[in-house]
């Protein structure tokens, strides 16, 4: 069997390494519209061979590790594919894609979101064990073919992932809170410091707390622009919930209500019981 990966950045490159280790596939083929990424992925050993788009779609399984704005266009541009072909989309917002999938490939398509990643991007950011012991969310699999679902599960289990299933609408709502919102907060924190007149002085003083919270502000703006656009309503709802908490804290500080501020912080400590 052959596996094809469209998009050879952090996610696609790391997947190439993981698939090689499973030995499930005779060949791992790769395609990226950035020719430098293809050269780097090949030289780093992330894939076995670089091919044209027309060749990648002939693989037994095709992984889409590309920006969200490109996923729907790619799905609609696919030529006739074999009945057994499995298409696995790795993007982090699903409902819009699910609604837009062409009828002729609905059974071939699987929506999957590996809950793994870093703030780095490009083939050089690929990590050997990026997926190991992480969760992958499969969405709306009742609409996919039985063979495709079984094959998809076999692949993710082989690369060490734990599988969770849910509707795409639930996925997008939950992920807005635990992934999309934190990225916006991190970008906002970074921009808050960057607007200060003495930002250079401030940044010489930073400790672990600021570094932890601002780390993901290094993430690709293009990728995250697309993610926010595709999950707009859920992200806006998450922002409203977050702003409510910020306003609560602001009011308590303004009113010198430090007793309730302490209780508010104590309540937040409870989150760690679930992690």
User: What HEC string does 122-135 produce?
Assistant: CHHHCCCCCCCCCE
Same domain, residue pair 151 and 40 = yes
For residue 222, the enclosing domain spans 171-274
Out of 151, 166, 181, pick the residue that ends a domain: 166
pLDDT at residue 275, as a whole number: 78
pTM for this prediction: 0.90
Two tokens, residue 21:
């280790």
Same domain, residue pair 120 and 226 = no
Half-sphere exposure of 146 (CA within 13 A, CB side): 0
Same domain, residue pair 148 and 244 = no
Same domain, residue pair 135 and 226 = no
Same domain, residue pair 92 and 19 = yes
Half-sphere exposure of 206 (CA within 13 A, CB side): 17
pLDDT digit string (tens) for the chain, length 275 residues: 999 999 999 999 999 999 999 999 999 999 999 999 999 999 999 999 999 998 998 999 999 999 888 999 999 988 889 899 999 999 999 999 999 999 999 999 999 999 987 788 889 999 989 999 999 999 999 999 999 999 999 999 999 999 999 999 999 999 999 999 999 999 999 999 999 988 888 888 888 888 999 999 999 898 899 999 999 999 999 999 999 999 999 999 999 999 999 999 999 999 988 87
Out of 145, 166, 187, pick the residue that ends a domain: 166
Two tokens, residue 259:
């007793």
pLDDT at residue 186, as a whole number: 96
Give how many domains the chain has, as a whole number. Answer: 2
Same domain, residue pair 139 and 16 = yes
Same domain, residue pair 194 and 128 = no
Containing 161, the helix (H) or strand (E) segment is: none
Distance between CA atoms of 241 and 237, rounded to whole angstroms? 6
Same domain, residue pair 150 and 60 = yes
Same domain, residue pair 23 and 119 = yes
Distance between CA atoms of 217 and 182, rounded to whole angstroms? 9
pLDDT at residue 199, as a whole number: 87
CATH code of 129's domain: 3.40.50.720
Out of 131, 166, 201, pick the residue that ends a domain: 166
Q: Is 18 exposed, middle or buried (0-12, 13-18, 19+ CB in 10 A)?
A: buried
Give 237's contacts (C-beta < 8 A, 6+ positions apart).
173, 176
CATH code of 188's domain: 1.10.3660.10
Same domain, residue pair 121 and 155 = yes
């Amino acid at each position: 069997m052959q596996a094809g990966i469209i998009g050879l950045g952090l996610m696609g490159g790391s997947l190439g390494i993981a698939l090689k280790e499973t030995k499930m596939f005779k060949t791992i083929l790769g395609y990226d519209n950035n020719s430098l990424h293809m050269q780097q992925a090949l030289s780093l050993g992330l894939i076995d061979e670089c091919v044209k788009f027309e060749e990648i779609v002939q693989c037994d399984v095709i992984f889409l590790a590309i920006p969200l704005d490109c996923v729907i266009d790619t799905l609609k541009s696919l030529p006739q594919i074999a009945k057994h072909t499995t298409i696995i989309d790795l993007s982090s917002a699903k409902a819009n894609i699910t609604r837009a999938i062409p009828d002729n490939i609905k059974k071939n398509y699987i929506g999957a979101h590996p809950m793994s990643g870093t703030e780095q991007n490009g083939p050089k950011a690929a990590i050997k064990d990026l997926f190991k012991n992480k969760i992958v969310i499969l969405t709306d699999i009742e609409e996919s073919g039985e063979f495709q679902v079984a094959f998809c599960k076999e692949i993710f289990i082989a690369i060490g992932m734990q599988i969770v299933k849910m509707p795409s609408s639930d996925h997008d709502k939950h992920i807005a809170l635990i992934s999309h919102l934190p990225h916006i907060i991190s970008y906002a924190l970074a921009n808050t410091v960057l607007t200060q007149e003495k930002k250079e002085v401030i940044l010489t003083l930073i400790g672990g707390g600021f570094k932890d919270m601002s780390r993901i502000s290094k993430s690709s703006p293009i990728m995250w622009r697309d993610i926010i656009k595709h999950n707009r309503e859920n992200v806006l709802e998450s922002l409203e919930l977050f702003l409510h908490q910020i306003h609560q804290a602001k009011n308590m500080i303004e009113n010198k209500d430090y007793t309730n501020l302490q209780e508010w912080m104590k309540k937040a400590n409870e989150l760690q019981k679930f992690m």
